Chains A and B, each alone.
Chain A
Amino acid sequence: EAQVTQNPRYLITVTGKKLTVTCSQNMNHEYMSWYRQDPGLGLRQIYYSMNVEVTDKGDVPEGYKVSRKEKRNFPLILESPSPNQTSLYFCASSGVSGARSPLHFGNGTRLTVT
């Protein structure tokens, strides 16, 4: 089954403790991206990747890092999480046309930073 898999689904952590949210897709998609969803703000793009080793900032990249060493994986790294990064995070992927192709979303990761 074609899918985007995020782990974990829920994560509670403390300020400053490094964490990684994993994202994997099995559709051989070139494009992958991360979004955070907050009430009243919709989804805001954090980072995106057009292909392996090619990443770029979205609208809200501060406090986040990403890497794209393999085509299928696009982890989101929070080196020193803060409470304002408490949010619902979505990973998405699409084909060669990047944001001009339909996005396939993972099920989301709800992160709480205390």
Chain B
Amino acid sequence: GQQVMQIPQYQHVQEGEDFTTYCNSSTTLSNIQWYKQRPGGHPVFLIQLVKSGEVKKQKRLTFQFGEAKKNSSLHITATQTTDVGTYFCAGGATDSWGKFQFGAGTQVVVTP
């Protein structure tokens, strides 16, 4: 079945630096979504990518969906302390509108 892997599991970043988290699926995805979960909170939707090769930006965040729709990345520039949290990718299955699989998440710690 579908497997969504996310790396790295942990990311320690100096404030002001850039970092990237990667998401890979064993199967082609219909769409990919990214969520952010602050410590003690619930996942909050950031963005959805649907098209092959799609790139979307939200201020300092850049999201990409691979050409084969099997991988995705989130790149954050000039990291701030407000970026602390766990970032999850989540992929939708092509054969089901209901099945949805999350990666294990990248926990981001920012040091001032």
| A interface list, Cβ under 8 A from B | 31, 33, 35, 40-45, 48-50, 56, 58-59, 90, 92, 97-108
**Count class of interface residues, chain B:** 20 to 34
Give me 10 A-to-B residue pairs in the complex whose CB atoms sit less than 8 angstroms apart, sorted by A's number: A33-B98, A35-B102, A48-B98, A59-B1, A59-B101, A99-B31, A100-B30, A103-B35, A103-B100, A105-B43
Binding site for A on B (CB under 8 A): 1, 6, 9, 30-31, 33, 35, 41-45, 48, 50, 88, 90, 92-93, 96-105
A48 touches B104 (CB 8 A): no
Measured between alpha carbons, how far is A29 from B64 in the docked complex, in Å?
A: 28
Out of B35, B42, B100, B103, name the residue touching A99 (CB < 8 Å): B100
Give the top 10 A-B pairs by smallest Cβ distance, nearest first: A99-B100, A98-B97, A42-B104, A102-B45, A43-B102, A105-B42, A48-B98, A42-B102, A99-B92, A98-B98
A48–B100 Cα gap in the complex (Å)? 9
CB-based contact A31/B98 at 8 Å: yes
Partner of A102, one of B48, B99, B104: B48
Which chain B residue has the least Cβ–Cβ distance from A54? B98
Complex CA distance for A110 and B100, rounded to whole angstroms: 22
The answer to whether A43 and B97 touch (CB under 8 A), given A90-B42, A102-B33, A104-B45, is no
CB distance from A19 to the nearest CB of B (A): 21
| C-alpha gap A108/B41 in the complex (Å) | 8
Name the A residues within 8 Å of B45 (CB-CB).
102-104
